[in-house]
Structure 1
Amino acid sequence: MSDAINTPAEQTEDLSELLRIRREKLNTLKEEGKNPYEITKYDVTAQNGYIRESFEQIEGQAVRIAGRMMSRRIMGKASFMDVRDGSDRMQVYVKRDDVGTDEYAAFKKWDIGDIVGVEGFVFRTQKGEISVHAQKIILLSKSLLPLPEKFHGLKDTDTRYRQRYVDLIVNPEVKDTFLKRSQILKEVRAYLDNLGYLEVDTPVLHTLEIGAAARPFVTHHNTLDIDMYLRIETELYLKRLIVGGFDRVYEVGRIFRNEGMDTSHNPEFTSIELYQAYTDYHGMMDLIEDMYITITKKVCGTTTINYQGTEINMGGPWERLTMVEAVKKYAGVDYNDWASDEDARACAKAHDVEVEEGANATKGHVLIAFFEAFVEDKLIQPTIIYDYPVENSPLAKRKPSDPAFTERFEYFIYNREMGNAFSELNDPIDQRERFVKQVEAKRATGANAEVDEDFITALEYGMPPTGGLGFGLDRLVMLLTNSASIRDVLLFPTMKPLGQ
């Protein structure tokens, strides 16, 4: 047997021939009045997974299964095929004397990838494999494109993301990731619902660009003849509901940010934000730690998981450090030693930490820069970092004991920021001042940002002390499914069109 590998031109020619043959088969079926695309319904009585799990109870019973033919072994008057449905694969024994001579001849012309229906009874082969003995078979849908080669499968990641439907067909383990994603979201909802939170929906299209740092996608509303912005957060509408008297609300929201793409960022992603009246960021710390422990145990069966070769102990208690404590621990630099902004900038220079030139870099800015340079990559085990400088926390309440800091925390796992929380700012005067500074900074970059005056109005009616928390569902799924890239946990990640 030759080991020669076909050239790209030869491979293209082979594919064209396969496509031609499959279409000819379809035309023949239509001419014979057997167009599979005209079939509208097939009553399935059992899933393959159920047959495997319940074999001892249903052996010998009649079943009707349906799915995609993934392989076939023709052996004269009897053959085997593997049929995969949404739950599992099933071996099917097809005998000419049982299904009929004409049907058996037609079966031998089916192609790998065709959708088929099988009526028969459950049994175990002499080799011990649970199977279905076919008594009737039918072609339900014709596959006009061949699946990727059996033993090599679909490995090219770009093609896998673009054609997720093929990826799911030939790489069954990929489906497991998305089944687990669905389970994770279900458990998040169950956890919050059990605590009395109300799930709500807020607008995706906004009429103004707010001052937050993220860049929005812009569209145009034809009837109103105005530009609109796809949301970059759900926060401000959810806090309006707190003002309105809903004491515990959350939203599973699709978020859109017109920014960079990498292994942990996609332009559209799923965020979960929740707000609770009459608590603060310490209440949110307790909630997120307990939520992650609960969900990890339910989804993974343990609170110790392996992520990219590293053992992560989700079971707690999680380490909790102020940003000042974290920088002192990992960088050996004490914020409290800086008497002035000049001292902070000099310290940054001495440690080769980049900060803004001139007087724009305050002690708070420098602390943040030290944290990013020396701390983030050390936070492998679940860690809560709290008390952030006011300079990068425009929506958090200032600490009464030290107004240079805010009651804000982020939590990190595997040196990745997983979520963000505040004791929410409910002072409308302070909020307006911070919004104005935010908007001015964003407009300086050419953006069309505006102060959300309606949100300020809502605060002026009075918002109770509130704890708020937001986290990315996609990053949580990455963690619990041991997925290296966000694209591995999005069914249809954003991709540049082919040829562009």
Structure 2
Amino acid sequence: MTADAAASPWWDESVHADRRPFLMARGRVVAAVRAYFADEDFVEVETPVLQFSPGNEAHLHAFATQWHAPEGGAFPYYLRTSPEFAAKKLLAAGETRIFEIARVFRDRERGRAHHPEFTMLEWYRANASYEALMADCARLLGLAAIAGSVAAFSYRGKTCDPFAAPERLTLAEAFGLHAGIDLLRFLAEPGEEPEPAPFAQAAQEAGIRVAADDTWADIFSRVLVERIEPHLGEGRATLLCEYPTSEAALARPKPSDPRVAERFELYACGLELANAFGELTDPQEQRRRFEVEMAEKQRLYGERYPIDEGFLAALARMPPASGSALGLDRLVLLASGARRIEDVLWAPVE
């Protein structure tokens, strides 16, 4: 794309002509995704964009709006950041395999791989382990590459074979390998919050910048971003798994070590594509975690989001399940050879 074209709006004919091959690839990838889940006996669902609660994670930011009732009164609502709460209510209602290609919205996000409105592929398997979702992710990478007519993914100087079996790496292994930190030493027991001071010292000894007011989560995120993520998904995809339970607010603890959770993230070419859980179904523990997250949100941003009591009630009826959310635009970006997320959106937010 020329400099003049880059300065033109997305609806300029020449700009659209440059983007159109990526958009055609998008259509083929979406069709391949739907075909995969149909073959796996999934039901495609549609859940509301308007939500009473947009989620209860400290660093998740939602767009707020209002509903004006016909009989009078204005009620606060949010544009969904994920279809997760509604999807789990459907599991409680009796559905066992569901997926949604959902438009979702997140404030404070825009960049080469972020957009304030984007498309999330979210799917759930009742009575299935989260390893089943790892297999789904591996299959989706290959199917997307075939649909996009690429033999390999390439992004910002990194390449990845979408047909190779992904590497599986725990957070403890990754911290030891790439940062020289024994992560397990600094994890808290179930129901407790980890202490930041000893973790901060270990991070400083590893050459990581630490501020005096950093929380444990701040330090964890900085090590992850600076030392771990640059090495993930190069050559082949990476399944980064067994996150600290304190960093997996909606995931169930691993039975053999409840300090870590059944959570994994999928990476290709250093780009995070998916976030998956063995789902937590204990409403009391879920409430406790939400309250911790909202206290942190209040401290950092001066606001908090309401807790969806219906969601907590549904958890008590929900079967054991595993679920994953995958950034469909990012997958299309890799499968089409595009350079940035706006290249694969039919009409980016202006």
| Residue 6 of structure 2 is aligned to residue 157 of structure 1 | yes
2:262 is paired with a residue of what secondary structure?
strand
| Residue 153 of structure 2 is aligned to residue 300 of structure 1 | no
TM-score normalised per structure 2: 0.89
Structure 1 residues 333-377: Cα deviation after superposition (integer angstroms, max 9, x where no partner): 22245599443221112223245636942xx76444322221101
How far apart are the structure 2 equivalents of 1:351 and 1:332? 7
How far apart are the structure 2 equivalents of 1:319 and 1:326? 12
Counterpart of 1:264 in structure 2 is 113
Q: Which amino acid aligns with 1:221?
A: W
**Shift in Å at residue 251 of structure 1?**
0.7
The structure-2 alpha-carbon separation of the partners of 1:156 and 1:321, relative to structure 1 and needing over 3 Å to count, comes to same
Counterpart of 1:371 in structure 2 is 224
Alignment of 1:38-437 (within 5 A): 155-161=4-10, 163-168=11-16, 171=17, 173-212=18-57, 213-223=59-69, 224-300=73-149, 302=151, 304-308=152-156, 310-336=158-184, 341=195, 342-355=197-210, 357=212, 360-361=215-216, 366-379=219-232, 380-381=234-235, 382-437=237-292
**Shift in Å at residue 447 of structure 1?**
1.7
How far apart are the structure 2 equivalents of 1:237 and 1:388? 24
How far apart are the structure 2 equivalents of 1:339 and 1:256? 32
1:388 is paired with a residue of what secondary structure?
coil
**Shift in Å at residue 316 of structure 1?**
1.5
Counterpart of 1:451 in structure 2 is 307
How far apart are the structure 1 equivalents of 2:54 and 2:156? 38
**Shift in Å at residue 266 of structure 1?**
0.8
Conserved 8 A contact 1:292-1:314: yes
The structure-2 alpha-carbon separation of the partners of 1:295 and 1:488, relative to structure 1 and needing over 3 Å to count, comes to closer
How far apart are the structure 2 equivalents of 1:448 and 1:301? 43
The structure-2 alpha-carbon separation of the partners of 1:377 and 1:202, relative to structure 1 and needing over 3 Å to count, comes to same
The structure-2 alpha-carbon separation of the partners of 1:280 and 1:273, relative to structure 1 and needing over 3 Å to count, comes to same
Conserved 8 A contact 2:181-2:206: no
2:34 is paired with a residue of what secondary structure?
helix
- In the comparison of the two structures, how many residue pairs are matched? 336
How far apart are the structure 2 equivalents of 1:339 and 1:249? 34
Q: Which amino acid aligns with 1:219?
A: T
The structure-2 alpha-carbon separation of the partners of 1:192 and 1:389, relative to structure 1 and needing over 3 Å to count, comes to same
How far apart are the structure 2 equivalents of 1:439 and 1:196? 37
Q: Which amino acid aligns with 2:313?
A: T
How far apart are the structure 1 equivalents of 2:256 and 2:215? 24
Structure 1 residues 38-87: Cα deviation after superposition (integer angstroms, max 9, x where no partner): xxxxxxxxxxxxxxxxxxxxxxxxxxxxxxxxxxxxxxxxxxxxxxxxxx
Q: Which amino acid aligns with 2:263?
A: R
**Shift in Å at residue 295 of structure 1?**
2.8
**Shift in Å at residue 155 of structure 1?**
3.6
Q: Which amino acid aligns with 1:321?
A: L
Aligned-residue RMSD, C-alpha: 2.3
Q: Which amino acid aligns with 1:197?
A: F
How far apart are the structure 2 equivalents of 1:153 and 1:291? 33
Q: Which amino acid aligns with 1:350?
A: E
Conserved 8 A contact 1:164-1:492: no
The structure-2 alpha-carbon separation of the partners of 1:366 and 1:207, relative to structure 1 and needing over 3 Å to count, comes to closer
1:442 is paired with a residue of what secondary structure?
helix
1:216 is paired with a residue of what secondary structure?
coil
- Report percent identity of matched pairs: 29
How far apart are the structure 2 equivalents of 1:406 and 1:421? 11
How far apart are the structure 2 equivalents of 1:334 and 1:199? 42
1:174 is paired with a residue of what secondary structure?
helix
How far apart are the structure 1 equivalents of 2:157 and 2:205? 36
How far apart are the structure 2 equivalents of 1:174 and 1:259? 25
The structure-2 alpha-carbon separation of the partners of 1:207 and 1:321, relative to structure 1 and needing over 3 Å to count, comes to same
The structure-2 alpha-carbon separation of the partners of 1:313 and 1:252, relative to structure 1 and needing over 3 Å to count, comes to same
The structure-2 alpha-carbon separation of the partners of 1:438 and 1:298, relative to structure 1 and needing over 3 Å to count, comes to same
Unmatched segments (≥5 aa) in structure 1: 1-151, 496-500
Conserved 8 A contact 1:409-1:422: yes
Higher-Rg member (1/2) = 1
Q: Which amino acid aligns with 2:68?
A: N
Unmatched segments (≥5 aa) in structure 2: 189-194
The structure-2 alpha-carbon separation of the partners of 1:398 and 1:155, relative to structure 1 and needing over 3 Å to count, comes to same
| Residue 313 of structure 2 is aligned to residue 464 of structure 1 | no
Structure 1 residues 160-211: Cα deviation after superposition (integer angstroms, max 9, x where no partner): 42x245523xx3x421111110110010111011101111110101123532
How far apart are the structure 2 equivalents of 1:316 and 1:418? 16
How far apart are the structure 2 equivalents of 1:156 and 1:457? 52
TM-score normalised per structure 1: 0.63
How far apart are the structure 2 equivalents of 1:352 and 1:308? 25
Which protein has greater RCO, CA pairs closer than 8 Å, 6+ apart? Answer: 2
**Shift in Å at residue 153 of structure 1?**
7.8
How far apart are the structure 1 equivalents of 2:342 and 2:313? 40
**Shift in Å at residue 407 of structure 1?**
0.4
**Shift in Å at residue 332 of structure 1?**
2.5
Structure 1 residues 92-143: Cα deviation after superposition (integer angstroms, max 9, x where no partner): xxxxxxxxxxxxxxxxxxxxxxxxxxxxxxxxxxxxxxxxxxxxxxxxxxxx
How far apart are the structure 2 equivalents of 1:478 and 1:315? 17
Counterpart of 2:191 in structure 1 is none
How far apart are the structure 2 equivalents of 1:309 and 1:449? 39
2:81 is paired with a residue of what secondary structure?
coil
The structure-2 alpha-carbon separation of the partners of 1:234 and 1:165, relative to structure 1 and needing over 3 Å to count, comes to farther
